[in-house]
Structure 1
Amino acid sequence: MSEALDAGFRHYAGRRARYLDAMDPVQCQRQLLQGLIRHARASRFGQEHDFARIGTVRDFQQRVPLRDYESFWRQYWQAAFPRIRNQTWPDPIPWFALSSGTSSGRSKYLPLSRAMLRAQRRAALDTLVWHQQACPWARPLAGRSFLLGGSTDLQSLAPGVKAGDLSGIAAETMPWWSRPWVYPPKRLALLADWDEKLRVLAKDSLRYDIRQLSGTPSWLLLLLEAVSALRGTLPPYPRLELLLHGGVPFAPYRPLFAPYLRDTRAELREVYAASEAFIASADDTPEAGLRLHLEHGAFYEFVPVRELGEERPQRHWLEDCVLDEDYALILSTAAGLWSYRIGDTVRILSRRPPRIAVVGRLQDYLSVFGEHLHPEELRAAIARAATEDGHPIVEWMVGARLDPAAPGRGRHLFLVESTIADASPTQRQAREEAMAHAIDRELQARNADYQEHRGLQLLAPRVLLLPPGSFARWLRRAGRLGGQNKIPRTVADPQRFAEILETIGEAAQTSER
């Protein structure tokens, strides 16, 4: 039975891959947008924006302005919530994916329609298709696919309307026929206490043939560490073929995963699966970027980051986007999001097939003192500090600290969690100073604005080394431990950053100089 299923999937994967490779990306996206507009024409949003008279992408861009979550919430969803129907999408909305909006911590209720859920499943299947084509030896249906997500215990907002973590929604709505290939079972997926869930899953999963593993890198590491403690010198999952990761840049995590994947054939593949849509997946090498899912419920627009503050910024799509430029990603979806600023920045790497690199979050740009630091520059500076320190960095965050004695002056404070704890305060201080110097040198070399402001408004950066596990303890206090929760890399608001620093822990506070 297993061999027949494998053979059947390989045949399907070959046909599907050939179809995707032959697809005209521009025509596919044009037809998808036209279909979304037709379906939503009679909705309140469709009538207010005259969908009946939209014939081209340019018509759509002229009639539908860019919006963020707060605009949709106030104008269309709040009054009817949680029973939202015929507002921005004609069909009833049975689920809301909770998204914390990494640096604000405030929950967003993002609508998830049945059509969008089906589209996300098809995108996940295409991800597996590309993996099968890249690794003909793979047998994904011979074992279990382990999704390390949040609790599937969804909130009931009204009869037939639920909200929760996207992975929880996916687990609860999984088709019955797919359950023999998916782990964990519902009784374990329902566990809400993250620490207990991790212990139980680590032990119980050893009873199964785990072939795929997916989740956020920081939480996957904790799982692999727990399983490794039970397995000793053996690989946690010896038959693992595919590890899917997403949500954060993976490069800093790669050396941390290597010991757990040794003696396996596991391929590492990145996915870009947001709460709003399953946007892209790796189909080639990491350097090639992520391939956009073109026919799975999302129409993509691209606005140059430098024009976001303008009244009428340029709006590009796959027909006229430019390679190697940083764009704010804009989505229109089969869940009633229209020209929605998702908050991420991407770079177009190729146009056929269309592949992107996720540059970062818009809030990850740091310019409290006019320094205009790019997320890639911050990541490069952290990587330089880790290299010179000789120890991988598990997590990090940067924020601004204003000088109360000198208005307008201040510095960047980097909160850094390393893989080791120092034996003495003297050792920690020496490491912090060396890492701060490395970060300062790298940022000055990469960014002229930063170099110009250093010594004027901007004082030398400082590093605060946190004990291992500090960020996890912070997330636990905030009730955000596990699942898809991520550490915000940049917190531009000094007051918000001070609040976060205060809750990181007493040890971290007292060690700051």
Structure 2
Amino acid sequence: MRPTDTAPRAQSDQDAAWRTRLVAAKDRFAAALPDAAARQRRILAEILTDNADTAFGREHGFARLRTIDDYRAAVPLRTHQEYRPWLTRSAAGEARVLTAEPPRLFFTTSGSTGDRKRVPVTESFVRRVYLPFFQAAMGVPAQYHPDAFGRGAVTLNLRHDRLARPALSDSGRPSLGPSQADLRGGFGVDLEEPGSRAPWAELPVALDDQAYLDKLYVRVRTAVEHDVRSVIGHNPTMIAMLPELIAQWWPRLIEDIRDGTCLGVPGGTPAPARAAELERRAGGRPTPAAIWPHLSLLYCWTSGVASLYLPRLKDAYGPSVTVLPTPPAASEGPVGVPVDQHPSAGPLAVSCVLYEFVDASRDVAPDSPTLLHDELEEGRDYHVVLSHLGGLYRYVLGDLAHVVDHVDGVPRVEYAGRATLSDTVGERLREPHVVRALREASRVAGIGVANVTCRPENGPGRPHHTLVVAADQPLPPTRLPAFQDLVDKELCRVSHDYRHVRSTGALGAARVVPVAASAFTEHWHHRLAAGMRPPEIKDQVFQHDPVAWARLRDHGRHSTHTEKRPE
């Protein structure tokens, strides 16, 4: 169809209107920042009023609470495990447990750090919390990269995976990830994912919902025939894995494109000229940059472990590609929303969620003193505590936020890592310590890091931490002792507790085990085979699975991986 035809022009106009709405939502969010304190008070009042007549509200006396201090005194801080009884009752169908409104569905978390969690989703939550956050969060790419960001074939959204048959809670309500839900159809709100109208948004061949790798292959196979200009992962592991998967799949991709098939069965129009053009462009080294020469935007989390490996992906995606951060958030609720082209962070979503914080140097207890948004200090890490209309009250998220600076008096935060603690002899290492130490050590040593995982080990000798590090280039044995020393010195610098136990001799020096990047590629495939969806497979700074640890640590000595590709 020619560019002057009516259908493409109408779609272009609709996408322009869609982007305009996203930019307007971002601007409304930014305009509310100077009024943050009043917004936070209003959210508390709405929580107490709207959900007073619920099992949780009655048990904690919502009707008599007025101030944040009243609220703190009445409601203890709770982790998911401590919150589980109320969530379980709600999922079983009991009415008015956490919210006066009945949940329409449940968001499930990835379960990457434990059991999957189910979070109730009411209409008020969608309209007053999730929708304003979701739209504002996409305002920056919509404003600064309009030609690369749309609902059609310009955007390959690796996060979006609408399900034909979602799992059900005990009460028969859908239970699925936010990226799998049709919130637009289910709630009648203006909520469309980028890339949701691309040809690959609906699979051209019938596949089981749980055929995760095949579904991903078919989406990429279809996208390869189009002029993709942006790739969305949210989880940056997907952005890192795509070049690896394309290389693994390349012969099958070319065959399917040439023959008009998907996984060897009819699913498209034969395109031998496109197949020949792609082979010519790739020249034996297929990359996203070779396939999509106009690719200009990657959209994913950029902090945490991703800050180590995203720079190395420039070669695979193209030297001119821009990486913009998706907002720090979780299935349980939003944390920050970028309002400009800051490379990693956005101000707190103060118009959507009531926030409290606990200093990351402390463990969180039910009665831990908390800080409000205007009490946070730049350069520090904090445990995030959420309260919102969706039925979470003083909920300890389990994520750490790092305060970068302030925007109109509101802390601008980036995701720092999970709050998981590694504490063998009092070293109290958290994920941000490991990432920051390795980032600085690798910079000084001139080593590009593709990924890392860490685990305390007990012998021989004193306990110590071992880091399995995948570098861009093989690390010669002659350079390893100096690099290990750098890593250990940086851990001492970034963590007071680590420095203390090292000085007493209770903890040995950190050790580094260099492995090929393929070790982490294989680990990704193992986790996929265990039942995780691709968007759910996140980087693991601390490796708690002894089998996975042994496989990663010993990679190269006795690898058992068989390359995974659609047959």
| Contact 1:397/1:490 (8 A) holds in 2 | yes
Whether 1:461 aligns to 2:507 is no
Residue 106 of structure 2, aligned match among 64, 78, 96: 96
Structure 1 residues 264 and 226, CA gap change in structure 2 (3 angstroms): farther
How many aligned positions are there? 495
Distance 1:256 1:485, change over 3 A: same
| Structure 1 residues 265 and 310: CA distance shift in structure 2, 3 A | closer
The match for 1:82 is 92
Paired amino acid for 1:77: L
CA contact (8 A) 2:149 2:230 kept: no
Pick one of 30, 49, 52 that aligns with 1:38. 49
| Residue aligning to 1:221 | 240
Aligned CA distance change for structure 1 residues 223 and 465 (closer, same or farther; 3 Å): same
Map 1:66-465 → 2, pairs under 5 A: 66-74=77-85, 76-79=86-89, 81-103=91-113, 105-118=114-127, 119-134=129-144, 140=150, 143-149=153-159, 152=163, 153-158=165-170, 160-170=172-182, 178=192, 181-182=195-196, 183=198, 184-187=200-203, 191-215=209-233, 216-227=235-246, 231=278, 232-233=281-282, 235-240=290-295, 242-246=297-301, 249=304, 250-262=306-318, 266-286=322-342, 289-296=345-352, 298-309=353-364, 312-348=367-403, 349-350=405-406, 352=408, 354=410, 355-363=412-420, 365-387=421-443, 390-403=446-459, 409-419=462-472, 429-430=477-478, 432-454=480-502, 456-465=505-514
Structure 1 201/172 Cα, relative in aligned 2: closer, same or farther at 3 Å?
farther
- Please give the alpha-carbon distance, in whole angstroms, between the structure 2 residues aligned to 1:148 and 1:497: 27
Q: 3-state DSSP class of the match of 1:110?
A: strand
CA contact (8 A) 2:169 2:175 kept: yes
Task: Tell me the CA shift for residue 338 of structure 1.
Answer: 0.6
| Root-mean-square deviation over aligned CA pairs | 3.5
In the superposition, the TM-score normalised over structure 2's length comes to 0.76
Distance in 1, matches of 2:489 and 2:194, equals 53
- The one-letter amino acid paired with 2:396 is R
Counterpart AA for 1:221: A
String of CA shifts for 1:420-468, please: whole Å, max 9, x gaps: 5x5xxxx765565454233123223444543443371212222223341
Deviations 1:315-347 (CA, angstroms, capped at 9, x unpaired): 222344444432210001232111000011223
C-alpha separation between the residues in 2 aligned to 1:358 and 1:14? 23
The range that moved more, 29-38 or 501-510, is: 501-510
Alignment-mate amino acid for residue 109 of structure 1: R
Structure 1 residues 28 and 509, CA gap change in structure 2 (3 angstroms) = farther
Q: CA deviation at 1:122?
A: 3.0
Structure 1 unaligned blocks of 5 or more: none
* Structure 1 contact 116–277 (Cα < 8 Å) conserved: no
Displacement of 1:18 after TM fit? 4.6
**Any idea what the Cα deviations from partners look like across 1:244-301, whole Å, max 9, x if unmatched?**
21285232122232124427664523322311113223222436721222333x2211
In the alignment, is the contact (CA less than 8 A) between 2:54 and 2:100 conserved in 1? yes
| 1:198-230 deviation line (CA, Å, top 9, x unaligned) | 322221013445454321212122224545756
Among 49, 55, 63, the residue aligned to 2:66? 55
CA distance in 2, matches of 1:247, 1:101: 21
Mapped contact 1:470–1:505 kept (Cα < 8 A): no
> Hey, what does 2:268 align to over in structure 1?
none
The alpha-carbon distance between structure 1 residues 459 and 117, as it changes in their structure 2 partners (threshold 3 A), is: same
Which amino acid is 1:161 matched to? R
Q: How much does 1:46 deviate?
A: 0.6
- Conserved in 2, the CA contact under 8 Å of 1:84 and 1:92? no
Q: Comparing 501-510 with 432-441, which one deviates more in the overlay?
A: 501-510
> 1: distance between equivalents of 2:124 and 2:407?
27
Tell me the equivalent position of 2:266.
none
- Does the 8 Å CA contact 1:270/1:290 hold for their aligned counterparts? no
* 8 Å CA contact 1:395, 1:471 repeated in 2: no
What do the CA deviations read for 1:450-505 (whole angstroms, capped 9, x no partner)?
Answer: 344337121222222334123213423533351122132125xxxx4534424548
SS in 2 for 1:281: coil
Instruction: Give the direction of change, closer, same or farther, for the CA distance of 1:213–1:482 in structure 2 (3 Å limit).
Output: same
Counterpart amino acid of residue 498 in structure 2: Y
Distance 1:308-1:98 versus aligned 2 partners, 3 A rule: same
Q: d(CA) in 1 for partners of 2:502 and 2:193? A: 57
Contact 1:398 1:490 in 2 (8 A): yes
1:465 match: secondary structure: strand
C-alpha distance in 1 between matches for 2:329 and 2:231: 15
Distance in 2, Cα, partners of 1:274 & 1:20: 19
Over 3 Å counting, the alpha-carbon distance change for 1:415 and 1:89 in structure 2 is same
- TM-aligned CA deviation for residue 176 of structure 1: 9.9
Query: Contact 1:82/1:161 (CA < 8 Å) preserved in 2?
Result: no
| Letter in structure 2 aligned against 1:199 | Y
